[in-house]
């Protein structure tokens, strides 16, 4: 290896330079030089001792290291696409989850497992029945996930710089996920109410507009946010666990933080499964608040179920402790591919948009 500006005797105090140098000595010297350690006897630099770092021209930019390219708009667009695709692909399983969380299901809607439930719904109610309400979900998921990921990325960087400058902080990741959830749920909660009422067995609603009109007229505008506090109580710990697990696994599977689809899928799937299992009791209460299940209302003397405490009490009165884990299988099965899809699609579009932006700037 030729080094420009090298003295006649090589690096003072180091291995002799020249063709007679052994491969081991060459590798050691080159390592010293690249780290700027090779110094002369007087403590000065031995010539120009830091050769330029070679970069593979075919390799794409390290998008995690390009803050100028990873703009808020990039995060919002990537997040919106990821949210819509995630909910659309997993919507049939979400329909099954909602039904399996019913506290007093109709005998025709009692299912042993997710596959049996999906098969029976299609066979008895039609091929497209598991997709009812998909349009309102996609409409809500776009802006909700755009706010979610943009807020998360901004706060993660800001808090990490304060808590652990130059490094990754699990506390920052969890805190950023919690705050991002506030925005996500505020945008998504009305869509969740309409979606879950349309998913229930024997739902009287065939169109989104019919459901929205009926809820507004019969229960008022507040009905669209009746489960908001419970949703936050569920999603704040869910997202804290989710993001901390995801970032922890990324440190092990993808320490360089480059675009790596397999690591994003694996980390996202594991993070979703852990968070989903832990927060299932809160999800059951959220479903009850959203659907106001008629048979469960008979156990509640106040009429509408209007808060987390009331929901917890009603779930226990109707089904005991085991009722808090209704639909846990469907919830975990839903979350594993759901979070894997969300993270992989988000990271892909984040990488793609950032790369295009950098190429455009370089060509100007």
CA distances from 50 to 30, 43, 57 (A): 9, 15, 20
Task: State the virtual CA torsion across 336, 341, 346, 351 in degrees, nearest 10.
Answer: 110
Q: Is the pLDDT of residue 138 over 90?
A: yes
| Local confidence band at 258 (pLDDT 50, 70, 90 cut-offs) | confident
Among 66-70, 97-101, 200-204, 228-232, which is the least confidently predicted range? 66-70
CA distances from 345 to 77, 246, 268 (A): 11, 15, 11
Task: State the virtual CA torsion across 349, 91, 294, 229 in degrees, nearest 10.
Answer: -20
Distance of CA 351 to the CA centre of its chain: 16
**CA distance linking residue 326 with residue 213, whole number of Å:** 30
Distance of CA 44 to the CA centre of its chain: 50
**CA distance linking residue 5 with residue 331, whole number of Å:** 64
What is residue 274's predicted lDDT score, i.e. its pLDDT? 87
In whole numbers, what is the pLDDT of the chain averaged over residues?
80
Domain boundaries, the chain: 227-326
Q: Is the pLDDT of residue 58 over 50?
A: no
Q: How many CB atoms lie within 10 A of CB 18?
A: 10
Instruction: Identify the residue with better confidence: 48 or 72.
Output: 72
| Local confidence band at 70 (pLDDT 50, 70, 90 cut-offs) | confident
> Are the beta carbons of 254 and 344 closer than 8 angstroms?
no
Q: Residues with Cβ < 8 Å from 330, sequence gap 6 or more?
A: 93, 96, 97, 100, 101, 114, 117
What is residue 298's predicted lDDT score, i.e. its pLDDT? 62
CA distances from 203 to 34, 123, 207 (A): 68, 17, 11
Determine what percent of the chain is predicted with pLDDT higher than 70.
78
Q: Is the pLDDT of residue 142 over 90?
A: yes
**CA distance linking residue 331 with residue 145, whole number of Å:** 19
What is residue 103's predicted lDDT score, i.e. its pLDDT? 82
The pTM of the full predicted model, rounded to 2 decimals, is 0.70
Q: Residues with Cβ < 8 Å from 89, sequence gap 6 or more?
A: 337, 338, 341
Evaluate the CA torsion angle 94, 95, 96, 101 in order and state its sign.
positive
């Amino acid at each position: 290896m030729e080094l420009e500006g090298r003295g006649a005797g090589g690096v003072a105090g180091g291995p002799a330079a020249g063709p007679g140098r052994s491969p081991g000595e060459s590798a050691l010297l080159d390592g010293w030089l690249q780290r700027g350690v090779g110094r002369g006897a007087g403590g000065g630099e031995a010539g120009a001792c830091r050769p330029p770092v070679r970069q593979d021209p075919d390799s794409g930019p390290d998008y995690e290291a390009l803050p100028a390219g990873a703009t808020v708009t990039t995060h919002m667009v990537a997040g919106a696409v990821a949210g819509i695709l995630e909910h659309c692909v997993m919507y049939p399983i979400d329909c099954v989850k909602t039904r399996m969380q019913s506290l007093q299901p109709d005998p025709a809607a009692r299912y042993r497992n997710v596959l049996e439930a999906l098969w029976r719904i299609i066979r008895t109610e039609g091929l497209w029945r598991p997709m009812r309400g998909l349009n309102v979900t996609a409409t809500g998921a776009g802006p909700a996930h755009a706010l979610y990921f943009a807020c998360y990325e901004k706060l993660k960087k800001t808090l990490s710089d304060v808590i652990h400058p130059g490094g990754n902080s699990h506390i920052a990741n969890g805190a950023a996920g919690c705050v991002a959830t506030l925005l996500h749920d505020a945008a998504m909660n009305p869509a969740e109410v309409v979606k879950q009422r349309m998913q229930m067995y024997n739902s009287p609603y065939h169109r989104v507009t019919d459901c929205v009109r009926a809820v507004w007229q019969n229960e008022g505008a507040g009905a669209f946010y009746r489960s908001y506090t419970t949703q936050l109580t569920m999603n704040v710990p869910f997202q804290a666990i989710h993001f901390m697990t995801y970032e922890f696994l990324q440190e092990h599977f993808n320490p360089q933080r480059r675009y790596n689809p397999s690591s994003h899928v694996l980390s996202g799937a594991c993070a979703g499964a852990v968070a989903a299992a832990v927060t299932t009791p809160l999800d059951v209460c959220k479903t009850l608040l959203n659907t106001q299940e008629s048979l469960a209302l008979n156990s509640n003397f106040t009429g509408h179920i209007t808060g987390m405490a009331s929901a917890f009490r009603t779930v226990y009165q109707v089904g005991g402790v085991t009722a808090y884990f209704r639909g846990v299988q469907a919830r975990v099965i839903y979350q594993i591919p759901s979070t894997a899809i969300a993270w992989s699609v988000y990271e892909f579009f984040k990488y793609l948009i950032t790369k295009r932006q950098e190429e455009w700037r370089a060509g100007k």
